[in-house]
């Protein structure tokens, strides 16, 4: 046991002294020490109840014969951070989450880990830490929020963001919007649609890192507490069998995850995070593979923002296991991979079934014949760009429009609110990538305002930044290379034609090569938007979105002028 380094032998008497000062009984120190990583805080609605989840996990660990020891990490709410300077810090927090867990786990010699998470960057950060540490580990999410209701219709956070656009265009009153804001988020949990948080919690199931039900059991359900207890028991089983993460996060597990991703219609951010997770596992996730899997995997669910169903509906219909069973029966999933249940995928799905075909359709009658995501390539994005094609109207699947270029999200939102964006436009928002942002901000504000104005099927938007999972419409993000790295998106000018062809996975700037060369010769690197603190260091080390926006292993140390 790793923990023997701090609990056994004469030389470890000082260590035992400190552990006893923390309240541990000598008998507890004879048992395996299990780190309970908890991202609870009092501002993120997906995390305000995680103390109860942690208590349940600890009960399970004790039932399984271990000693649970809780420690914390940070958590940022993307919704609260949206559309202001706070969003610069969201994606970079993923690396802090992973690094902080690594530091705590290695310094204190835990034998196993249970990761308690829920929201956007916390879940992938914890996954990355799990892969890096390679201990017996399980991911446990806090569960999704229930949908709100207004005038007999289900609503969620994306409804409120789109309501802002409706107010701006005169389609809704401010009083109606405020009423919606009061009703949309009725309690704890990750926001109710298939946004990034719930997408990644479903991906944890699909990868085999979480128990069945992790992605969909509502936060307020007793089933969530029972799942947490079971996770505590099960991590002790993994420890007794010496099952580390490397036995679960094999290359084929990512293929399974991508198939489930396509069937569910998940957030575009899943590709950013799965790519980063693969990097932690020591291999590259080929974005071309994403299209191959998407082309053969039909979209079986149409969840908010693409459709009317929420995560609670998916859970009622059978959850992720039911979706995986559909894929497995169609030979679109590898059933022989090991998972944190200690069993293979096929055993986990033995009792899975679909109870509502309106929520989870069959392979024969899907919502779409292709998956929910696509990666586009072309001169504008030679390293790829990502679109949630399942949330794009048929009229926008092929589209050529006139560029309206903005060097920040704020400039674009101002122009949209002023009515400067008209039908047939392609809104280009650049210098918002991992390096140029810095931090690769999400663009829910401009996309939701366009949707609220009724322009989401008449206007496209492309950016080297990201989109929230709550985004719908022809919104193409992660354009790589980004503008700050010299990518072609930095050379686009107002009036240029941009062609988008989702079925062919193409995105092209229709400008002659000689003109592009002339513009490139004139291009100059802009000054950093934030040139201090963590983001200054982050911008110098972060890779492109096409590589998962992971940090380079090269550390740049500034020591002033060199003589």
Contact of 303 with 311, CB cutoff 8 Å: yes
What DSSP designation does 499 have? E
Region of 454 please: left (phi>0), alpha (psi -120 to 50) or beta. Answer: left
Beta-bridged to residue 71, according to DSSP, are: 37
Contact of 352 with 322, CB cutoff 8 Å: yes
Residue 179, Cβ density class (10 Å: 0-12 exposed, 13-18 middle, ≥19 buried): middle
Contact of 114 with 133, CB cutoff 8 Å: no
Distance CA 460, CA 63 (A): 54
Catalytic residues: 468
Three-class SS of 474-487:
CEEEEEECCHHHCC
What DSSP designation does 167 have? H
Contact of 247 with 256, CB cutoff 8 Å: no
Give me the DSSP letters along 174-200.
HHHHHHHHHHS--SSSB-SSSSHHHHH
Contact of 120 with 200, CB cutoff 8 Å: yes
Cα–Cα–Cα angle for 303, 360, 124, rounded to 5 degrees:
55
Separation in Å, CA 154 to CA 180, 305, 318, 469? 11, 12, 20, 18
Radius of gyration of the chain (CA): 23
What DSSP designation does 84 have? S
Contact of 95 with 125, CB cutoff 8 Å: yes
Residue 229, Cβ density class (10 Å: 0-12 exposed, 13-18 middle, ≥19 buried): buried
Residue 471, Cβ density class (10 Å: 0-12 exposed, 13-18 middle, ≥19 buried): buried
Distance CA 214, CA 204 (A): 8
Tokens coding 138? 């399980």
For helices 251-264 and 287-296, angle between their N-to-C axes, nearest 10 degrees: 50
**389-392 contacts at long range (C-beta below 8 A, 24 or more positions apart):** 389/294, 389/502, 390/265, 390/299, 390/302, 390/306, 391/265, 391/305, 391/306, 391/471, 391/472, 391/473, 392/472, 392/473, 392/474, 392/502
Tokens coding 395? 């009229």
Closest to 111 in 3D by CA, of 259, 1, 25:
1
Separation in Å, CA 262 to CA 235, 375, 383, 506? 29, 12, 20, 19
């Amino acid at each position: 046991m790793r923990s023997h380094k701090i609990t056994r032998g004469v030389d470890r008497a000082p260590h035992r002294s400190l552990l006893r000062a923390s309240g541990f009984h000598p008998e507890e120190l004879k048992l395996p020490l299990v780190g309970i990583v908890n991202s609870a805080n009092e501002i993120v609605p997906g995390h305000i109840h995680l103390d109860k989840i942690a208590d349940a996990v600890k009960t399970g660990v004790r039932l399984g014969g271990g000693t649970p020891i809780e420690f914390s990490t940070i958590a940022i709410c993307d919704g609260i951070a949206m559309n202001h300077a706070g969003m610069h810090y969201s994606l970079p927090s993923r690396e802090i989450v992973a690094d902080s867990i690594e530091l705590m786990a290695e310094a204190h010699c835990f034998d196993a880990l249970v990761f308690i998470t829920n929201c956007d960057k916390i879940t992938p950060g914890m996954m990355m830490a799990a892969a890096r540490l390679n201990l017996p580990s399980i991911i446990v999410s806090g569960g999704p929020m229930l949908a709100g209701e207004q005038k007999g219709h289900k609503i969620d956070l994306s409804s409120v963001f789109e309501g802002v656009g409706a107010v701006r265009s005169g389609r809704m009153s401010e009083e109606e919007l405020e009423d919606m804001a009061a009703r949309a988020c009725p309690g704890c949990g990750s926001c109710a649609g298939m946004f990034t948080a719930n997408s990644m919690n479903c991906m944890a199931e699909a990868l085999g890192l979480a128990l069945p039900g992790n992605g969909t059991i509502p936060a307020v359900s007793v089933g969530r507490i029972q799942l947490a207890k079971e996770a505590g028991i099960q991590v002790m089983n993994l420890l007794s069998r010496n099952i580390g993460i490397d036995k679960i996060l094999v290359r084929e597990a990512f293929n399974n995850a991508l198939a489930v991703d396509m069937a569910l219609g998940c957030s575009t951010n899943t590709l950013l995070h799965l790519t980063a997770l693969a990097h932690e596992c020591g291999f590259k996730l080929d974005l071309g593979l994403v299209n191959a899997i998407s082309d053969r995997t039909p979209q079986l669910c149409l969840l908010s923002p693409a459709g009317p169903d929420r995560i609670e509906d998916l859970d009622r219909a059978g959850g992720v296991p039911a979706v995986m069973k559909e894929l497995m029966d169609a030979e679109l999933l590898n059933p022989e991979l090991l998972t944190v249940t200690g069993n293979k995928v096929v055993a986990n799905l033995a009792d899975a079934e679909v109870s509502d075909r309106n929520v989870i359709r069959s392979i024969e009658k899907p919502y779409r014949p292709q998956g929910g995501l696509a990666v586009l390539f072309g001169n504008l994005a030679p390293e790829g760009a990502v679109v949630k094609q399942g949330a794009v109207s048929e009229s926008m699947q092929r589209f050529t429009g006139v560029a309206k270029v903005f060097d920040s999200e704020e400039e674009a939102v101002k122009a949209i609110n002023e009515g400067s964006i008209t039908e047939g436009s392609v809104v280009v928002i650049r210098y918002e990538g991992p390096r140029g942002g810095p931090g690769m901000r999400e663009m829910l504000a401009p996309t939701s305002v366009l949707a609220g104005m009724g322009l989401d099927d008449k206007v496209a938007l492309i950016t080297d930044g990201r989109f929230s999972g709550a985004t719908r419409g022809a919104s193409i993000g992660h354009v790589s290379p980004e503008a700050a790295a010299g990518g072609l998106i930095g050379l686009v000018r107002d009036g240029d034609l941009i062609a988008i062809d989702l079925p062919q996975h193409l995105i092209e700037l229709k400008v002659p090569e000689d003109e592009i060369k002339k513009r490139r010769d004139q291009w100059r690197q802009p000054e950093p938007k934030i040139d201090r603190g963590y983001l200054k260091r982050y911008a110098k080390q972060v890779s492109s979105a096409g590589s998962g926006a992971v940090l380079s292993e090269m550390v740049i140390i500034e020591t002033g002028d060199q003589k």
